């Protein structure tokens, strides 16, 4: 409990002062009210939920490993996440065309252009395959997922092949030649 003492001092100066009764303020109700308010706001506040992006990964069929999803090469764009924040990408089959190397600043334009080309040519959505290498960082992966989200590119299987050992020999040779592996 708290007390408020407003009593006078001593007898200095010869004046006689009348002694005032001390006023006492009980703050118990204020503490109860504070706890009630804290409880109310804790229970009624909606906390922000983390945003998550769906990533479709190809299923592994242990019984039938030859069973693969057939995808037309003309509608496939493969993105290789290399070291030093570099990206190499190519359309179609690996080894048929030389990958284009760029940073994260130019990948959005490339995604939009290739998405439009595939839509105009086939009438279907583009298929994106993201393959991080050993030199790629988690930040690179998150950045490319953000770029795919910004360009409203649907991630349909096979979307992410996150095992760097699954790089094709032609992809490894190209990245080693450019010093990106």
Q: What average pLDDT score do residues 19-24 get?
A: 77
Domains: count for the chain: 2
Q: Write out the residue range of the structural domain in which residue 24 sits.
A: 12-44
User: Mean pLDDT across the chain, nearest whole number?
Assistant: 78
Q: Are residues 25 and 107 in the same domain?
A: no
pLDDT band at 35 (very low <50, low <70, confident <90, very high): very high
**Which tens digit of pLDDT belongs to each residue from 50-95?**
777 666 665 666 777 666 666 677 788 888 888 888 888 888 877 7
Residue 55 CA: distances (Å) to CA of 14, 86, 96, 154: 88, 22, 27, 10
Residue environment code for 59-98, b if the CB has 16+ CB neighbours within 10 A, otherwise e: eeeeeeeeeeeeeeeebbbbbbbbeeebbbbbbeebeeee
Q: Of 40-49, 124-133, 148-157, which range is least confident?
A: 148-157
Do 94 and 37 belong to one domain?
no
Same domain, 39 and 77: no
Residue 49 included in any domain? no
């Amino acid at each position: 409990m708290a007390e408020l003492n407003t009593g006078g001092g001593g007898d200095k100066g010869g004046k006689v002062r009348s002694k005032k009764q001390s006023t006492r303020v009980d703050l118990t109700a204020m503490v109860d009210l504070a706890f009630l308010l804290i409880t109310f706001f804790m229970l009624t506040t909606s906390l922000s939920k983390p945003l998550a992006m769906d990533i479709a990964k190809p299923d592994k069929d242990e019984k039938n490993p030859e069973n693969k999803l057939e995808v037309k090469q003309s509608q496939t764009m493969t993105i290789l996440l290399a070291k030093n924040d570099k990206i190499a990408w190519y359309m179609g089959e690996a080894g048929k065309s030389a990958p284009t190397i760029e940073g994260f600043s130019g990948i959005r334009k490339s995604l939009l252009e290739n998405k439009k080309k595939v839509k105009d040519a086939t009438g279907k959505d583009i298929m994106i395959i993201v393959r991080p290498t050993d030199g790629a960082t988690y930040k690179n992966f998150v950045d490319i997922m953000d770029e795919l989200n910004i360009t409203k590119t649907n991630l349909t299987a096979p979307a992410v092949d996150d095992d760097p050992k699954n790089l094709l020999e032609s992809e490894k040779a190209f990245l080693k030649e450019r010093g990106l592996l």
